[in-house]
């Protein structure tokens, strides 16, 4: 379970408005939460705190009742823009988290320069994911030679390469066109269902939030805060757009976001 209490972040030591102010959020294990809100309301900031990139904050962030420790907690993180390293191949990018965390590795007997390499379990997990996402043939390519959709899938494999307990995704589908976006969300859910790690998805798309989020967290800005949390009645519905409730839920979210923007 992820529990956030009274989380406040200020990037400039109080010279500017808080990027997040008094944010409270609880997430059950294995739950997917979609976070939506206008640009600048602190969505990425929230993920960066949980992902351990921002450590200067006030408040409490606990994982299963213990203060967040990004060295111990296994957290997969897809940053806004994917953050793939251009000088590393697809496979090297995918294995980066295991190398940094020094898990899922074995001694390399073949080379005295590279001491530790991915073990069989890690390799088969990563290869399996690459194949499942239909990019298994791209493992030796560099990110610059890939399409947007392929890069997005590599970022997903990399985040899942060490079977994380928490997955953080910052607008993972936003660079894709509408059709690819729907397809990518579908593929994501298919892969996600295999280990159901607690997931936070940041999105600007109301449909994506309805399709993926069990809870939908609507954030407001100036200062960044949680405005409303909706238990999504359409969660898990394949044909959610055909559902009687769809228009109602869509407009409810839209109005909440608009109200924030008008302030």
Ligand X SMILES: Nc1ncnc2c1ncn2[C@@H]1O[C@H](COP(=O)(O)OP(=O)(O)OP(=O)(O)O)[C@@H](O)[C@H]1O
Task: Answer yes or no whether residue 232 interacts with Mg ion by CB under 5 A.
Answer: no
Could you tell me if 94 and 154 are in contact, meaning their C-beta atoms sit under 8 angstroms apart? yes
Task: Answer yes or no whether residue 224 interacts with ligand X by CB under 6 A.
Answer: yes
CA dihedral of residues 42, 34, 57, 8 (deg, nearest 10) = 60
How many chain residues touch Mg ion (CB under 5 A)?
Answer: 2
For residues 56 to 85, the per-residue mask of contacts with Mg ion, x marking binding by CB under 5 A and - elsewhere, is ------------------------x-----
For residues 68 to 107, the per-residue mask of contacts with ligand X, x marking binding by CB under 6 A and - elsewhere, is ------------x---------------------------
Task: Answer yes or no whether residue 43 interacts with ligand X by CB under 6 A.
Answer: yes
Closest C-alpha to 81, from 173, 187, 199, 182: 173
Task: Answer yes or no whether residue 42 interacts with ligand X by CB under 6 A.
Answer: yes
Task: Answer yes or no whether residue 44 interacts with Mg ion by CB under 5 A.
Answer: yes
Per DSSP, the three-state class of 165 is: coil
How many other β-carbons are positioned within 10 Å of the β-carbon of residue 29? 13
Alpha-carbon Rg for the chain, nearest whole angstrom, is 19
Using the minimum distance from each CB to Mg ion, give the nearer residue, 8 or 163: 8
Binds ligand X by CB under 6 A, chosen from 2, 7, 19, 206: 19
* Pairwise CA distance, residues 158 & 53, whole Å: 17
Could you tell me if 262 and 255 are in contact, meaning their C-beta atoms sit under 8 angstroms apart? no
Task: Answer yes or no whether residue 198 interacts with Mg ion by CB under 5 A.
Answer: no
Residues found near ligand X in the complex (CB under 6 A): 11-12, 19, 39-45, 80, 224
């Amino acid at each position: 379970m992820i529990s956030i209490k009274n989380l406040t972040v200020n990037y400039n030591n109080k010279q500017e408005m808080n990027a997040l102010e008094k944010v409270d959020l609880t997430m059950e294990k294995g739950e997917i939460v979609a976070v939506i809100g206008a640009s600048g309301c602190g969505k990425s900031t929230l993920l960066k705190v949980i992902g351990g990139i921002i450590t200067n904050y006030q408040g409490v962030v606990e994982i299963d009742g213990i203060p967040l420790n990004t060295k111990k907690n296994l957290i997969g993180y897809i940053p806004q823009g994917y953050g793939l390293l251009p000088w590393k191949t697809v496979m090297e990018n995918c294995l980066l988290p295991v190398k940094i965390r020094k898990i899922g590795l074995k001694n390399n007997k073949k080379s005295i320069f590279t001491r530790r390499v991915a073990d069989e379990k890690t390799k088969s997990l990563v290869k399996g994911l690459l194949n499942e996402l239909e990019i298994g043939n791209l493992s030796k390519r560099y990110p610059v030679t890939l399409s947007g959709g392929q890069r997005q899938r590599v970022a997903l494999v990399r985040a899942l390469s060490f079977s994380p307990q928490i997955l953080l995704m910052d607008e993972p589908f936003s660079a894709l066109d509408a059709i690819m976006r729907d397809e990518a969300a579908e593929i994501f859910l298919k892969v996600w269902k295999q280990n159901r790690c607690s997931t936070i998805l940041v999105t600007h798309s109301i449909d994506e939030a309805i399709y993926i989020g069990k809870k939908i967290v609507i954030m407001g800005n100036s200062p960044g805060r949680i405005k409303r949390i909706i238990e999504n009645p359409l969660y898990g519905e394949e044909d959610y757009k055909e559902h009687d409730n769809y228009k109602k839920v869509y407009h409810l979210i839209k109005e909440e976001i608009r109200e924030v923007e008008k302030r």
